[in-house]
Amino acid sequence: MIKLAWLDPDDPDWFPPVEAAIREPDGLLAAGGDLSPQRLLAAYRRGIFPWFSPGQPILWWSPSERAVFDTHAMHVPRRLRRWLRRCDWELRIDTAFDRVIDACASTGSRADGTWITPEMLDAYRSLHRLGHAHSFEAWDGDELAGGMYGVAVGRLFCGESMYSARDNGSKVALLSAARWLSGHGFPLLDAQIVSPHLATLGMRVLPRADYTGEAARLARQRGIEERWTHGPAPLRAHELGPPARP
């Protein structure tokens, strides 16, 4: 029988140590609590994230292996690079957060279907209003071709979900995110779960202890708690490629 720590709704800063996470299912650490901004930010600082399905209690995870990207060292496969040269999509940030998170919820972007419950939607919209959650968007004219959203804590960015409405839409959004993050002092993009799809873009794997140590260090740094933009003129998809080393 699995015995989990249950979080106290009145103590949003407390989590058990990540070393207490169980092996099967890998990384399950705790249950309960709430999805308040204070608790969510406390979780991300410790290398913990929520993931649960409708009908389940809130479940908190810290896997034994963590998928991450070094934002200055993204890999753009040759075929995608050729495709990008012909793509004139506009890349924006934080202009359609609600549309991006709704699309991620409706596409069921993890293997067992959608995990972005109405509770989760409300929670991340609250983080967005507070300047902690952000969306990276690929626009084909007036249509969203794809997007991703995630949470910034200090100089750590934790990707939560992404989706494609057009071929390569999510890849373009992810490359756009890495380009902006690298240029603004965010060296690491947490992708949470290891997958072959992410590996094609340069994902690497960190053991839990290495990741949580790096996450804590970056989370202590001063962040950018406001709406994000690309600057005076949005990028176009054909400008993407491996970002310049900071």
- pLDDT tens digits along 147-159: 999 999 999 999 9
pLDDT for residue 228 is more than 60: yes
Final residue of a domain: which of 42, 63, 84? Answer: 63
Q: Kindly state whether residues 154 and 234 are assigned to the same domain.
A: yes
Q: Which of 36, 63, 90 is the last residue of a domain?
A: 63
Within this chain, do residues 212 and 122 fall inside the same structural domain, yes or no?
A: yes
Q: Are residues 10 and 113 in the same domain?
A: no
Residues 114 and 200 reside in one and the same domain: yes
Q: Rounded to an integer, what distance in angstroms lies between the CA atom of residue 122 and that of residue 166?
A: 26
Q: Residue 188: exposed, middle, or buried by beta-carbon count in 10 A (0-12, 13-18, 19+)?
A: buried
The residue segments making up the domain with residue 26 are: 5-63
Per-residue confidence band for 116, with pLDDT thresholds at 50, 70 and 90? confident
Q: Which has the closest alpha carbon to 14: 37, 36, 43?
A: 43
Specify whether 199 is located in the same domain as 142. Answer: yes
In a domain, 244, yes or no: no
* Coil, helix or strand at residue 57: coil
- Structural domain count of the chain: 2
Same domain membership, residue 168 and residue 72: yes
Euclidean distance between CA atoms 220 and 197, whole angstroms:
31
Residue 84: inside a domain = yes
C-alpha distance across the termini of the chain, in Å: 48
73, 100, 46, 66: which is closest to 195 by C-alpha? 66
**What are the strands, taking DSSP E only, across the chain?**
5-7, 28-32, 49-50, 59-61, 65-70, 90-93, 133-140, 143-153, 156-164, 188-192, 204-207, 235-236
- Considering the domain architecture, whether residues 20 and 100 belong to the same structural domain is answered as no
Residue 245 lies in a domain: no
Query: Does residue 40 share a domain with residue 52?
Result: yes
pLDDT at 22 over 60: yes
| Model confidence at 97: pLDDT above 90 | yes
Among residues 14, 30, 63, which one ends one of the domains? 63
Confidence of residue 113 (pLDDT cuts 50, 70, 90): very low
Does residue 89 belong to any structural domain of this protein?
yes
Nearest CA among 202, 181, 169, 162 for reference residue 84: 169
